[in-house]
Amino acid sequence: MNLRRRGYCESTIVQNYAKILKHLSKHCSIVDSGSVLDYLAGKHVSNARKELMANCYYKFCKWKGIAFDYVRYRREDRLPYVPFEKDIEALTALPRKLGIFTLTVKGTGARAGEAWNLEWLNINSEENSIIINSPEKGSRARKLKASTRLISLLSTLSRQGKYVFKKQQEASLESLRCYFIRERKRIALKTQNQSIRAITWKSLRHWKATMEYQRTKDILHVKRILGHVNIQNTLAYTHLINFDSEEFVCKAAISVEEASKLIEQGFEYVTEIDGIKLFRKRK
């Protein structure tokens, strides 16, 4: 309740702070800051994770009036994980509504919480656009271009209530996340591809940013799509692209429908030979 009053969004409270405090209470005395610091010092996780846990515990101590000698952890410099498109395509086997939610995150680059709070009035089927009007983590509201396929899939969902995905009072983004993890594991076991288990909604956001930068070479365009306020957060994606690579996947289209599908998949038009349109996309 204290965090809600201070303006923290529900996803941050549930996914991070509540989980962390529950975890700490299982492994050490949460009212003894020394016990917590000893536990963090011996825990085999990244410094970034330790920093998040320490920040969470600091807020708890401030609320409860517990003395806490804050320790600053130096984060390792890491590039965001971007899954291969062939692994992402396996997620088409997700159950329908979960699959559409996942495709929304992938197609727009929105955070999972932003997609969860998406309202029907923010979807414009005439101009194929989606407005993110509930940005998270201090991001900016933004209007995003969506594929015809995504808009069509969204239109198949039930329109009960003002939200697209958030329907029931007892439903939560965290329960949907757990559902996604179970289904992702099922697909990974069925396809014998363990790389699928590394895909998260956050990594799909990373994928969108990387693909947009590869397509446009415009970092400000990527910044607007992600809703970043600080461009330093966006610059990480420029290191994930190898523009020296000249390996492409080539596809042909003989109809407008086939060409439209290739464009929605990120292929770019190259030329036309004997009435057949040729498209390419970097591997």
Give the tens place of pLDDT for each residue, 48-58. Answer: 788 888 888 88
Band the pLDDT of 1: cuts 50, 70, 90: very low
Q: What would the CATH number be for the domain defined by 85-240?
A: 1.10.443.10
For helices 96-108 and 148-155, angle between their N-to-C axes, nearest 10 degrees? 150
Tell me: the pLDDT tens digits for 3-14? 455 545 555 555
Note if the pTM is more than 0.95: no
Please name which of 210, 224, 215, 219 lies closest in space to residue 279, comparing C-alpha atoms.
Answer: 215
Does residue 237 or residue 154 have the better pLDDT? 154
The region that residue 137 occupies, defined by phi over 0 for left and psi between -120 and 50 for alpha, beta otherwise, is left
The predicted model gives 90-108 an average pLDDT of 95
The residue extents of the domains of the chain are: 2-64, 85-240, 248-282
Rounded distance between C-alpha atoms, residue 112 and residue 11, angstroms: 9
